[in-house]
């Protein structure tokens, strides 16, 4: 796949000609709703074997080869150029397909309401073939240690048909929010733990689960070691049953980071105890906060770099959002919440309001502004092929175990195309 950013005057036809593709292939790959109305700044993925690279100032065959994992000599031979001559800026080089890295992938599904939506079922069925794990969010713990299951529908059948392992997600959610009081009971009361683990094991056996995933958040800071001890005990019980155990970790950048979401999450202990962890590297830009990228690459990399000082890379799954937000300006703390949107909806908003899409080079994320019919200004940040590519590059650079998506149900076709194009997915 080739990533291309639309420029003024571009058409799908001209882009197809430039890369030796077809209009139909580009429309299909990007699920373009209005192919005759491309948005300036919109990122497209172009189905080609390998990819093209346009020489930038300061580039050399050596630096380009390092970037793509190919020798300068091979790069010169493939493109029939003299390796001893300087590269003209703007020269188009062909980069052949590279060996794919083997990674693991996870995606959460969160059925909401009384029935599972067709949109969620269809998205799960469509993408399960690219998943190592399908995580059902969530089994909520009652105060006596029993479990309230999510809507299960036919997720197990979809997982089995696609050789995706089911993950049983356990949370301390209570009345729609993470409860510090409930979390403290879980990690401190041995009687509740016995009931809980007995219920988890029974549910895992009956439901065909492969992994048990603890997502205990907003725990009191004083319960840090209690949580570690609970995980050690849970791991011993679950291992006896042949079950994997994973955990979700808040995005920390140091062991001493303060705050109710961070202090009880001990990266070093989780790295030692769990089979793998999922870093929740998203929600810098969130619905109740000011407008900004949801998962800016500079902040994501800081979390990863810290995690690597506490645990091996092959235990780390990078968390990734499949959504963005539309904020109404001016932002006011405690005011109107931003609206969650899919990447496809982000592009449609820019197109409908005749706005070009900008790209933040530091956050590596697209954004734009528009004014609605009532005269309110909006700021939109979302994901596109360029932003997800930055995360894929980070996974390769750091040798991480893989990627975990929160959550299925919002359309982002480019992500799945690039994932399949660049990685082989481990299956159990």
- Domains (range + CATH), the chain: 2-95 (3.10.350.10), 101-425 (3.20.20.80)
pLDDT higher than 90, residue 117 = yes
Provide the CA 394 distance to its chain's centre, in angstroms: 12
pLDDT at 403: 98
Q: How far apart are CA 376 and CA 347, in angstroms?
A: 19
Report the C-alpha gap between 30 and 11 in whole angstroms: 14
Continuous H helices in 105-189? 118-127, 155-161, 180-188
For residue 53, pLDDT beyond 90: no
Could you tell me the CA-to-CA distances from 331 to 341, 371, 425 in Å, in that order?
18, 14, 41
Whole-structure pTM over 0.85, yes or no? Answer: yes
Percent of the chain scoring above 90 in pLDDT: 92
Q: What is the mean pLDDT of residues 15-28?
A: 94
Q: What is the pLDDT of residue 51?
A: 85
pLDDT at 116 over 90: yes
What element of type H or E holds 5?
Answer: strand 2-5
Active site residues: 217
- The mean per-residue pLDDT over the stretch 231-248 comes to 98
The answer to whether 367 and 360 have CB atoms below 8 angstroms apart is yes
The pLDDT assigned to 68 comes to 81
d(CA 148, CA 254): 34
Q: How far apart are CA 172 and CA 184, in angstroms?
A: 9
Rounded Cα–Cα distance for residues 39 and 348 (Å): 9
Lowest mean pLDDT among 68-72, 304-308, 340-344: 68-72
CA–CA dist 44, 31 (Å, integer)? 10
How many residues can be counted in the chain?
A: 428
What integer is the mean pLDDT of 401-428?
A: 96
* pLDDT, average across residues 116-135: 97
* pLDDT for residue 333 is more than 90: yes
Q: For residue 61, count other CB atoms closer than 10 A to its CB.
A: 23
């Amino acid at each position: 796949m080739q990533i291309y950013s639309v420029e003024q005057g571009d058409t799908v036809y001209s882009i197809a000609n430039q890369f030796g593709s077809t209009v139909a292939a580009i429309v299909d790959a990007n699920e373009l709703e209005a192919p005759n109305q491309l948005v300036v700044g919109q990122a497209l993925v172009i189905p080609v074997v390998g990819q093209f690279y346009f020489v930038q100032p300061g580039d050399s065959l050596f630096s380009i080869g390092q970037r793509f994992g190919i020798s300068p000599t091979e790069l010169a031979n493939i493109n029939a150029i003299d390796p001893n001559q300087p590269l003209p800026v703007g020269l188009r080089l062909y980069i052949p397909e590279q060996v794919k890295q083997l990674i693991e992938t996870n995606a959460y599904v969160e059925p909401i309401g009384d029935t599972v939506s067709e949109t969620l079922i269809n998205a799960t069925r469509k993408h399960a073939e690219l998943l190592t794990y399908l995580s059902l969010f969530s089994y909520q713990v009652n105060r006596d240690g029993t479990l309230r299951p999510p809507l299960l529908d036919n997720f197990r059948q979809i997982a089995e048909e696609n050789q995706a392992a089911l993950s049983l997600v356990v949370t301390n959610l209570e009345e729609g929010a993470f409860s510090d009081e409930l979390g403290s009971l879980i990690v401190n009361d041995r009687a509740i733990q016995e009931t809980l683990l007995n219920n988890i094991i029974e549910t895992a056996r009956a439901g065909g689960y492969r992994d048990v995933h603890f997502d205990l958040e907003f725990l009191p800071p004083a319960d840090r070691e209690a949580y570690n001890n609970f995980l050690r005990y849970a791991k011993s019980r679950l291992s006896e049953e042949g079950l994997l155990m994973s955990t979700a970790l808040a995005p920390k950048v140091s062991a001493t980071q303060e705050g109710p979401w961070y202090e009880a999450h001990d990266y070093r202990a989780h790295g030692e105890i769990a089979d793998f962890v999922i870093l929740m590297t998203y929600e810098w830009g969130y619905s109740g906060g000011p407008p900004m990228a949801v998962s800016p690459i500079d902040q994501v990399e800081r979390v990863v770099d810290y995690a690597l000082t506490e645990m091996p890379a092959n235990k780390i799954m990078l968390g990734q959002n499949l959504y963005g937000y539309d904020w109404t300006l001016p932002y006011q703390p405690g005011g109107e919440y931003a609206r969650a949107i899919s990447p496809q909806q982000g592009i449609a908003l820019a197109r409908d309001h005749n706005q070009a899409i900008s790209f933040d080079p530091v956050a590596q994320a697209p954004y734009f502004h528009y004014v609605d019919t009532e005269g309110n200004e909006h700021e939109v940040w979302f994901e596109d092929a360029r932003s997800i590519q930055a995360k894929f590059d980070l996974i390769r650079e750091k040798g991480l175990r893989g990627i975990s998506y929160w959550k299925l149900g919002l359309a982002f076709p480019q992500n799945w195309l690039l994932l399949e194009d660049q990685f082989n997915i481990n299956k159990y």
